[in-house]
Structure 1
C-alpha cells in the first residue's frame, strides 16, 4: 500500500500532530497526490482540501470540521485518521472534501477557546469583537467555506457540511445533532444519514444563529449539521470505538457508498425558547450536572435573573446546553419539545 509519506508529505499521515506542532509546508510543498489519484492541497493552518481522482457533474462537495472548540478532541482525532486513510488508500473518496480543524490555538492550549466561543462568531459576528483572539479565525473559516463551495455543484444534495463536536455534559441522548434554521424544508437525505450514523436525536433551531453550520447553510446553501458525539476528554484519552457510528457514516458519505435507509430515524426536538443570561445575577435552578434533554414538567421554574423568570409553559420541555457560566448576553440553555412525527412527515 502506498503511504502518503511516499509522496513527500508526512503531514497527511498525522494531520493532527502536524497542525498542533505549528508546522507549515514550504511553498513548493502545499500540494500533492494521495493514493488512487486524489489530489490534496494545504490551504491554511488546519485546513486541507482533497479532490477526487475523477470529478463528474454533480460530484458532491463535503466540508467536515472538528475542533471549533479546542477541547473537543475525539472528532479531531477521527478526522486526522480519516485524512491518513484517504491519503494511503484505506478509505475511498468519490467527492470533493474540505477538512477543517477549527480553533487550532485553543487545541494547542487544551482549552475550549482563548477569548470567545468561536462557534458564536460566524455570519459576520466576529466583526463585533475585532480584538478577540478568535475573530480572525472565524473570518478565515468563513472564507475557506465560501471558496470551497464556490467551486461546488449546485445540484440538490451536492453540498454538505458536517461539524463534529463533543458535549460538555452527559445527555439523555448520548449522540445528537443540531440542524440550523434556514426557512427551507428539512432534507430526508440528511435525516437518513443521521440515522445511519446512529444519531438518536435531532434538535431543530427555529432562529438564525452564529454557528459554523448556520453560516454554511445560509451563505453556502449546504446541507449542514452540528454533531454532538459524546463527552469532552483530553487528547489521547478518547475511546474512539464509541464514535464508530458517525465515523463509518462520514466515510460512507465520502466514498459514495451510503444508500439504504436506516432502520430508524432519529427523534426530533424543536427549540421553543432559550434561557438568556442577562447579568451576573443569573441563576440556573437545576442541578449543576443535569444531563442534556432532561425533561421538566409544566410550571417548573428553571431560571431567574433580576426580574426575569423562565417557567416551563408546555406539559413537558427538555433543557439542552444549560450553562450558567457564559458571558452576560449569551445563551444559557435551550428549551425544546418533541416534534418527531410532524417533522418526519414533512421531509423532502
Structure 2
C-alpha cells in the first residue's frame, strides 16, 4: 500500500494488509486505520487522527503526505504511530458527517445512537486507540493529535483546543504545539464528547485538537499556511529537531457554552462572524425560547458559532483570555 488516503477513499482494503520495510512494520487494521511500528524499540507512542469531519480536508492531505513518505522509505520513524482517518464515508461524500457528529460521540456517548453509522465508527476508533496503547510499554509516552479545520474563518488561522484535564500539561507537548505554529490555545473546563477528551481522560494522553484553517474540498487547500504544522509533525515522527519557535500562542479558557435545545434557537451573529470575534459585556448572543445567553465577562470571544447543530448540541463557545499569560507574552515581545 502506497497511499493511505486513496486506499481509504476507494472503500476497499488493500491487497496486502501488512508489510515490513527496512525501518518499520505497517498494518492496515481497518478502513482508514493504519499502524506503523519502528523495528527498533522506542518510548513514544503517537496517535494522529484527521477526517473526523469529512469536509475538513487540509489535515487529511498533510497527514497523507507524511505517511506516504514513511511508506516509501523517504522518512525514518522514531515513534510507534497510529493513524486514524476518522469518518471515511463522510470523506468520500465531502460532508461534515452523514447522520451524527462523530466528534460528540466519544467516551461511550455513541451508545445513545444505535442506528447511526458514526456511532459504530466512534466505537471502532475507541477500540483502535485502546488496543494501540495497551500493547505499548508501561512507561511509554502517549500523545494524541486530532487534526481539524474550522467551519468559519478565524482571527487565529491555526489554534489548538485542549480537553479538560486535572493534570498539568507536559512541557515538551506545549513546546511542540508552539513549534507547530499554533497562534492560540483554548482550554476546556468541563468534560466533553470529543476524541481528544476521550484519549486524555481514559488513557492519560497529552491530547489536543488542532484547528488548521477553514474547511475546503480536497485539492483546494493552501497547505503553505500550515507548513509550520507539517514540519513539526515530520520532526515528531522522525525524532528530528523541532522547527524554530517564533512566538508562543495566546491562551483562552472557556467561559460558557451556548447550547441549542430546540427549534426555536436563534444565534444573534452573522454567518460571517469569525472565530475569536470579541463581544462586550451584556451583548445578547443567542436565545432559545425563554433561555437567553449574554456576554457575562467584560469581554468574551466566540468560538465555533453554528446555529445549525442538532438540538442538544453545542452551538458555540464563549472564551475569556488568560490575562496573566497573555500579558507575559506581550512583555516578551
Residues 1:54 and 2:43 are matched in the alignment:
no
Residues 1:20 and 2:9 are matched in the alignment:
yes
Per the alignment, residue 4 of structure 1 pairs with none
Taking structure 2 as the reference length, the TM-score comes to: 0.95
Structure 1 residues 175 and 340: alpha-carbon distance in aligned structure 2, compared to 1, 3 A threshold: farther
Per the alignment, residue 272 of structure 2 pairs with 289
**CA displacement, residues 273-314 of structure 1 (integer Å, 9 cap, x when unaligned):** 010111111111111210001011111111111111111111
Q: Contact (CA 8 Å) 1:190, 1:223: kept in 2 or not?
A: yes
Aligned residue for 1:290, secondary structure, equals coil
Residues 1:322 and 2:305 are matched in the alignment:
yes
Per the alignment, residue 331 of structure 2 pairs with none
Question: Which whole-Å CA distance do the structure 1 matches of 2:96 and 2:243 have between them?
Answer: 37
Structure 1 residues 341 and 229: alpha-carbon distance in aligned structure 2, compared to 1, 3 A threshold: same
1:120 to 93, 96, 104: 104
Q: Contact (CA 8 Å) 1:294, 1:319: kept in 2 or not?
A: yes
Displacement of 1:338 in angstroms is: 0.6
**CA displacement, residues 95-142 of structure 1 (integer Å, 9 cap, x when unaligned):** 100011010011111111110000001000000111112111000000
Structure 1 residues 245 and 235: alpha-carbon distance in aligned structure 2, compared to 1, 3 A threshold: same
Residues 1:41 and 2:30 are matched in the alignment:
no
Q: Contact (CA 8 Å) 2:231, 2:243: kept in 1 or not?
A: no
Displacement of 1:92 in angstroms is: 2.0
Give 5+ residue unaligned stretches, structure 1. 1-10
Question: Which whole-Å CA distance do the structure 2 matches of 1:260 and 1:174 have between them?
Answer: 18
**CA displacement, residues 113-172 of structure 1 (integer Å, 9 cap, x when unaligned):** 11000000100000011111211100000000000011234437x100010001110001
Taking structure 1 as the reference length, the TM-score comes to: 0.91
2:228 to 220, 245, 261: 245
Residues 1:74 and 2:58 are matched in the alignment:
yes
1:215 to 189, 195, 198: 198
Question: Which whole-Å CA distance do the structure 2 matches of 1:225 and 1:31 have between them?
Answer: 29
Question: Which whole-Å CA distance do the structure 2 matches of 1:276 and 1:187 have between them?
Answer: 32
Higher alpha-carbon deviation: 43-52 or 299-308: 299-308
Give 5+ residue unaligned stretches, structure 2. 329-333
Displacement of 1:89 in angstroms is: 2.0
Question: Which whole-Å CA distance do the structure 1 matches of 2:322 and 2:129 have between them?
Answer: 31
Displacement of 1:259 in angstroms is: 5.0
Question: Which whole-Å CA distance do the structure 2 matches of 1:168 and 1:259 have between them?
Answer: 29
Q: CA RMSD in A?
A: 1.7
Per the alignment, residue 6 of structure 1 pairs with none
**CA displacement, residues 158-200 of structure 1 (integer Å, 9 cap, x when unaligned):** 1000100011100010110001012112222222111101110
Aligned residue for 2:19, secondary structure, equals strand
Per the alignment, residue 265 of structure 1 pairs with 248
Residues 1:201 and 2:184 are matched in the alignment:
yes
Structure 1 residues 18 and 328: alpha-carbon distance in aligned structure 2, compared to 1, 3 A threshold: same
Q: Contact (CA 8 Å) 1:152, 1:159: kept in 2 or not?
A: no
Displacement of 1:53 in angstroms is: 2.1
2:128 to 137, 141, 144: 144
Aligned pairs, number: 328
Residues 1:109 and 2:96 are matched in the alignment:
no
1:63 to 40, 44, 47: 47
**CA displacement, residues 205-228 of structure 1 (integer Å, 9 cap, x when unaligned):** 000111111111111111100000
